Amino acid sequence: PEDVASELEKVLLSEEEIAAKLAEIARRIEADYEGRDLLLIAVLKGAVMVMADLARELKRPVEVDFMAVSSYGASTHSSGVVRIVKDLDISLEGRNVLIVEDIIDSGLTLHWLKQNLASRNPASIEVCALLRKPDAMKVDVDPRYVGFDIPNEFVVGYGLDYAERYRNLRSIAVLAPHVYS
Ligand code: PRP
Ligand code: MN
Ligand code: MG
């Protein structure tokens, strides 16, 4: 098997740090949504780990649904122009929606998604992102819950990929420059 450790510069957030932060956020969500229904929506694929762990950390019933999106054009996801590959199965009419994401980088994906979902008449719509890169943000998506603000470095693991690799790492790490240069 390949030696993944040599492809990582350093661990930024350990499994334990991620779990502790998600527990903190879950307590806030439980308080904020007390007595109200809650629908968690995650965007494939990066958000799957956050969704799985946050949903199980919540000590209350929630519904979950998933969307798959892809970017138009030659550029990467940061174009901000998004096409729906797999839409939601659940109607948002009158629902309290919490979008669960792994990272806000430029913010363009979430900016588009929030507008798209808001047009479906939910009772409320908020964003929970485990990571945010303040120095990379092009549009503010005003997330209600943010786990960690991180430097503008290439991070992988816990759902986050580089060329579809490293998603299954339990921690979040900075990718070694020799991997992508
Ligand atoms: C990544 C990440 C976020 C988005 C953030 O997804 O999971 O969804 O980019 O970038 P932005 O703030 O600049 O829009 P990606 O498009 O790589 O797809 P993936 O989740 O399948 O990895
Ligand atoms: Mn993503
Ligand atoms: Mg990706």
Delimit the domains of the chain by residue range: 15-148
Mean pLDDT over the full length of the chain: 94
Determine the angle formed by the axes of helices 48-57 and 15-32, rounding to 10 degrees: 60
126 alpha carbon – ligand 3 mean position (Å) = 22
Q: Look up tokens 């890169």; give the residue.
A: 133
E strands, the chain, where?
A: 8-13, 39-44, 63-71, 82-86, 96-104, 124-132, 145-149, 155-156, 172-175
What pLDDT, in 10s, does the model give residues 131-151?
999 999 999 899 999 999 999
Ligand 1 atom 1 nearest Cα = 46
Pairing state between β 63-71 and 39-44:
parallel
ipTM of the complex: 0.98
Give the tens place of pLDDT for each residue, 154-164. 999 999 999 99
Q: How far is the CA of 31 from the centre of ligand 3 (A)?
A: 32
- Exposed, middle or buried, 180 (CB in 10 Å: 0-12/13-18/19+)? exposed
Q: What local confidence, expressed as pLDDT, does residue 179 receive? A: 93
pLDDT digits (tens, 9 = 90+) for 68-113: 998 765 555 566 778 999 999 999 999 999 999 999 999 999 999 9
> What residue ranges line ligand 1, CB within 6 angstroms?
43-46, 77-78, 101-109, 161
Catalytic residues: 105
Q: What is the pLDDT of residue 171?
A: 98
Ion ligand 2: residues, CB < 5 A? 46
Q: Whose CA is nearest to atom 13 of ligand 1?
A: 106
Residue 28's H or E segment, with its range, is helix 15-32
- Taking the CA of residue 164 as reference, the ligand 1 atom at the shortest distance is 22
CATH code assigned to 15-148: 3.40.50.2020
pLDDT over 70 at 65, yes or no: yes
